[in-house]
Amino acid sequence: MPMITYREALHHALREEMTRDERVLIFGEDVVAYGGAYGVTSGLAKDYGEKRVFDAPIAEGVIAGAAVGAAMGGLRPVAELMTINFALLAADQIINHAAKVMHMFGGQMSVPLVIRAVGGGGAQLASTHSQSLEPMFAHVPGLKVVTPATPADGKGLLKSAIRDDDPVLFIEHALLYRVRGEVPEGEHLVPLGKAAVKREGKDITLVAYSRMTLVALQAADLLSQEGIEAEVVDLRSLRPLDTETVLASVRKTHRALTVEEAWRTYGIGAEIASRIQEEAFDDLDAPIRRISGVEVPLPYAKNLEQAAIPDAQRVMKAVKEIFARTGG
């Protein structure tokens, strides 16, 4: 399999789906002029024409609303928002329309759209451009939320999202675009709502998603050098949420730590911890721990920003505290 970047994997997914299905179209801010904020759509307008790839005005509510209308009209739009932060300006269209149309129409109308948005911090873009707002959107029934961590999953999940008949918010972490990995060529689909065990282990389960999956994997490798074998579960999708894969891992390792970049309160880690507590309490040898971003608006200063985002050292420290407490 070729070794390509996360950015290239997403580009391949878009290109393949546009070739496969003429109903797929792409629009957003600067998707033509600059190939998108991070270059994912570069060259697509030239190859597929201005009717299928076009720039939109700087109005996120309009972009999301047009995507909803196009989807209801029989097309399969992929709308790009420069960042997840700007999705706040489109929240009514996403939450009150895209997510609810099927319900409001009694199942007679679907909204097969994908909204691509960049999330996460670490690039010194300051508080209002570096947020991890996926827990807010994952709270909404009727809306699917996908957060791929690797190039292969990026391609496979984006292709599946475009083919899905429900609205999908597809969140790409800003620091993942240059990450390289093996990606299958041609038809490569990853099902929505299915987590993946990215590393086998027997001592503790690390549950993560998006860039924090890579942080968890790095921590697991370092822990292995000290005799602790951590299993890493990548959620991949936040709604639907694959509880069974998480529970199966916890029943094997008997310990769990969640790792997320979003704020701790009401976060994805809290939801995972609750489900483990409800379904696998008797399998636990230690309380569930959570690692998250510090609950502050993300600072601009590089040193402060790095201090606010979880890293492998914080994960290792938390794991060691779990074992110290339980005598493992």
> Catalytic residue numbers?
60, 129
Instruction: List C-alpha distances in Å: 45 to 5, 7, 13, 42, 62.
Output: 21, 17, 15, 8, 20
Residues 189 and 152: their CA atoms lie apart, in Å, by 9
Name the amino acid, one letter, at 293: G
Q: Which has the closest alpha carbon to 130: 259, 304, 11, 270? A: 304
Residues 195 and 54: their CA atoms lie apart, in Å, by 34
* Bridge partners of residue 290, in order along the sequence: 258
Backbone angles phi, psi at 254, to 5 degrees: 70, 10
Burial class (CB in 10 A: 0-12, 13-18, 19+), 187: exposed
Q: Give the pair of three-digit tokens for residue 51.
A: 């009717």
Residues 67 and 48: their CA atoms lie apart, in Å, by 18
Q: How many CA atoms lie within 13 A of 262 on its CB side?
A: 25
